[in-house]
Amino acid sequence: MLRKTLLATFCASALVTGAMPVLAAQSQQLQSEQGTLSVTRITQGLEHPWALAFLPDKQGMLVTERPGNLRVISQGKLSAPLSGVPKVWAKGQGGLLDVALSPAFNEDRMVYLSYAEGGGEGGTAGTAVGRGRLSEDLSRLLDFKVIFRQEPKLSTGLHFGSRLVFDRDGYLFITLGENNDRPTAQDIDKLQGKIVRIYPDGKVPDDNPFVGQPGVRPEIWSYGHRNPQGAALNPWTGTLWDNEHGPRGGDEVNIIERGKNYGWPLATHGINYSGAPIPEARGKTVEGTVAPRHVWEKSPAISGMAFYDGDRFKAWQHNLFIGALVSQELIRLQFDGDKVVHEERLLGELKARIRDVRQGPDGYLYVLTDEDDGALYKVGLE
């Protein structure tokens, strides 16, 4: 896919021969409630980056680009696209999406990718997850194998979900959008609008909540989700949290529990983009479904999330950070237990869609902006 700027053209030419120098880092200071933020642009020229994962031993990080590239950012350089990455269905919101390292990466070097995969009836697509072994020279994925496919494939370009989270026991959770087919989120014979739990090799654990029930997908851990584009393990409790897009209003933060129904589209704080009510909706809360822990009545369009448990910035301890695409901010949530008691909007001065946020091993936050000329920022407190 051709770049539209002179900078991007130079980047593409440089990548033919290998890694390219990153543009000189640019820093700025922005104000926040907890002090002055230091915001440093590490690199730019990324094409709609979607997710990042830190490699051990200061080797840098893996970054996905939605058109289908996986790159390494290391020691001031942006690598050429790695080989061995699966072909992706790069239409609408689809493409190469999340990336996660195996919990045993130091031994097995396995890298997990989620992505939109075509092949559905009428040209539709669904979310797939696979894994491959990262070469020692960080240039390719070896022996990539698909371990999970969303079935049926119903998306024409919307609502893939697609975050990957390993829990403390090594199980892999995958968040799945309902492919913009609302009723399927309640259909437990389908994998739309679900969070699933599998072993790292794709097998289904025997203690999943619906194993052995006729007509129910055994991978399902929870259901009634719309488009969960953020997920993270709470480092203090070990519980899985997600965030998900509402329609026009009703973006949510949830604590995910085994076998529970999270309501979509029966329960929602949102309406259709046309302004009309959601036809299936019965109210903001519905008996038998789990209410969200936090709701935005006006959607910031949330994506990516990271709990802060680092020692570097004490003021951020026990806070949750969430990217926002439409409102172009990083949202900081403060808690009393599991209850949100305060919210702050950060980084609005960047005027960029924030797709992902992760805590780095150095205690800084790292933020990806989802743009034609996307960037990676390092954020800290002075």
The tens digit of pLDDT for each residue in 312-365 reads 999 999 999 999 999 999 999 999 999 999 999 999 999 999 999 999 999 999
Cβ atoms within 10 Å, residue 166? 17
Average pLDDT of every residue of the chain? 94
Spatial neighbors of 37 by CB under 8 A, at least 6 apart, are: 29, 30, 31, 346, 347, 379, 380, 381, 382
What is the C-alpha to C-alpha distance for residues 244 and 266, in angstroms, rounded to an integer? 15
What is the C-alpha to C-alpha distance for residues 80 and 13, in angstroms, rounded to an integer? 10
> Catalytic pick from 48, 159, 245, 269?
159
Q: What is the dihedral sign for C-alpha 122, 127, 131, 136?
A: positive
What whole-number percentage of the chain has pLDDT above 70? Answer: 93
Residue whose pair of structure tokens reads 């130091």 in the numeric block = 106
Please determine, for residue 117, whether its predicted confidence score (pLDDT) is greater than 50.
Answer: yes
Domain residue spans of the chain: 27-381
Spatial neighbors of 95 by CB under 8 A, at least 6 apart, are: 48, 50, 65, 66, 67, 68, 88, 89, 115, 116
Please determine, for residue 8, whether its predicted confidence score (pLDDT) is greater than 50.
Answer: no
What is the C-alpha to C-alpha distance for residues 80 and 99, in angstroms, rounded to an integer? 17
* pLDDT tens-digit map of 254-302: 999 999 999 999 999 999 999 999 999 999 999 999 999 999 999 999 9
What is the C-alpha to C-alpha distance for residues 241 and 276, in angstroms, rounded to an integer? 30
* pLDDT tens-digit map of 174-200: 999 999 999 999 999 999 999 999 999
Please determine, for residue 11, whether its predicted confidence score (pLDDT) is greater than 50.
Answer: no
Is 159 catalytic? The answer is: yes
Mean per-residue pLDDT, 7-16: 35
Please determine, for residue 110, whether its predicted confidence score (pLDDT) is greater than 50.
Answer: yes
Domain formed by 27-381, architecture? 6 Propeller (2.120)
CB 88 within 8 A of CB 95: yes
* pLDDT tens-digit map of 31-46: 999 999 999 999 999 9
